[in-house]
Amino acid sequence: MMTICPPEDDAAAPPEAFSALKWRRDGRPRGLLGWIAAQGMPLVNRRENRALVEWLAPAPGDAILEIGFGPGVTARALARRTPNGLVAGVDHSAVMLRRALRRNLAAVAEGRMLLCHGSPERLPFRDGMFDAAVAVNVFHFFAAPAAACREIGRVLRPGGRLAFATRGPRAGRGYDIAKARHARARQSLAEAGFTELDTAIVTARGPHDVIIISGRRR
Ligand SMILES: C[S@@+](CC[C@H](N)C(=O)[O-])C[C@H]1O[C@@H](n2cnc3c(N)ncnc32)[C@H](O)[C@@H]1O
């Protein structure tokens, strides 16, 4: 059986001409530019996606939640590593939901993946059902990061990990912006009651490393 949480009515979407501007503000790819972004993201974000899955090293039976799955690359890699488990995700972009579903049709059809239109502030999952939750290149879009971490914590089992992977430029203005974002992620995890906070730096080829900020649910 195929289970899909459909996008809400897109009537509130802005006219196409304004979509790019609004997207920069709210992090919701839409329209033609959103579609183009969905094609490019697997390549552009490959280091963060790969590093996160390696770092998490899920067990075959794990249930994992991904926030902001975008075109569904990490979700696919996680599903391959959890043949007896579940990968679920929420993303607030209808364009990305469609792309991720297409990329993961087999896992969705087998009932091993559940992709939903939604946001981390209100998750359509029951308490304690996930072993881990992840978000790649997404945290800085959260409007209320501590509240989002609290809600993600609700659906994690005690001891479950929440990890945010982002780019870590090594110098320049990008370094300062990233540093502030990483500090905010750690603070939000702490405010939401996560323990064992950790910042891992995964050295990557190219101009930036991958930073993984994580915590454990009590
Ligand atoms: C920069 S893309 C990253 C996609 C993917 N994780 C990757 O690294 O390739 C950010 C994604 O997060 C989603 N997103 C941003 N803020 C969100 C929010 N508050 N709730 C749900 N999804 C969100 C966007 O729709 C987009 O698909």
Report CA(183)–ligand 1 centroid distance (Å): 20
How many angstroms separate the Cα of 145 from the Cα of each of 14, 148, 162, 183? 25, 5, 13, 12
Any idea which of 23-32, 104-113, 135-144 has the lowest mean pLDDT?
23-32
DSSP code at position 190: H
Domain parsing of the chain, residue ranges: 28-120+127-216
Question: Within 10 Å of residue 54's Cβ, how many Cβ atoms?
Answer: 13
- In this prediction the pTM is 0.90
Residue 118 pLDDT level (bands cut at 50, 70, 90): very high
Stretch 94-123: mean pLDDT: 97
Q: Tell me the pLDDT tens digit for each residue of 24-59.
A: 667 888 888 888 888 888 888 999 999 999 999 999
Q: Which residues contact 129 (CB under 8 A, 6 or more apart)?
A: 63, 155, 157
Task: Tell me what the pLDDT averaged over the chain comes to.
Answer: 90
Inform me whether the pLDDT recorded for 85 exceeds 90: yes
Residue nearest to atom 8 of ligand 1 (CA): 136
Residue 20 pLDDT level (bands cut at 50, 70, 90): low
Stretch 71-96: mean pLDDT: 97
Inform me whether the pLDDT recorded for 23 exceeds 80: no
CB 162 within 8 A of CB 145: no
How high is the pLDDT of residue 12? 42
Inform me whether the pLDDT recorded for 8 exceeds 50: no
Ligand 1 atom closest to 68 (CA) = 12
Inform me whether the pLDDT recorded for 10 exceeds 70: no
Stretch 121-128: mean pLDDT: 97
Strands annotated E in the chain:
63-67, 86-91, 113-117, 130-136, 156-169, 195-202, 208-216
Percentage of residues of the chain with pLDDT beyond 90:
74
What residues are in contact with ligand 1 under a 6 Å CB criterion?
A: 27-29, 41, 45, 48-49, 68-70, 73-74, 90-93, 96, 119-120, 136-138, 141-142
Inform me whether the pLDDT recorded for 16 exceeds 80: no
Residue 1 pLDDT level (bands cut at 50, 70, 90): very low
Stretch 133-150: mean pLDDT: 97
Residue 79 C-beta-side C-alpha neighbours within 13 Å? 25
Residue 165: both structure tokens together: 């992977």
DSSP code at position 176: H
Any idea which of 26-40, 78-92, 93-107, 182-196 has the lowest mean pLDDT?
26-40
Ligand 1 atom closest to 27 (CA) = 15
How high is the pLDDT of residue 166? 95
Is the Cα dihedral 169, 170, 173, 177 positive or negative?
A: positive
Architecture of domain 28-120+127-216: 3-Layer(aba) Sandwich (3.40)
- Residue with tokens 């190219």, as numbered in its chain: 206
How high is the pLDDT of residue 163? 98
Rg, C-alpha atoms of the chain: 16
How many angstroms separate the Cα of 209 from the Cα of each of 75, 165, 196? 21, 10, 22
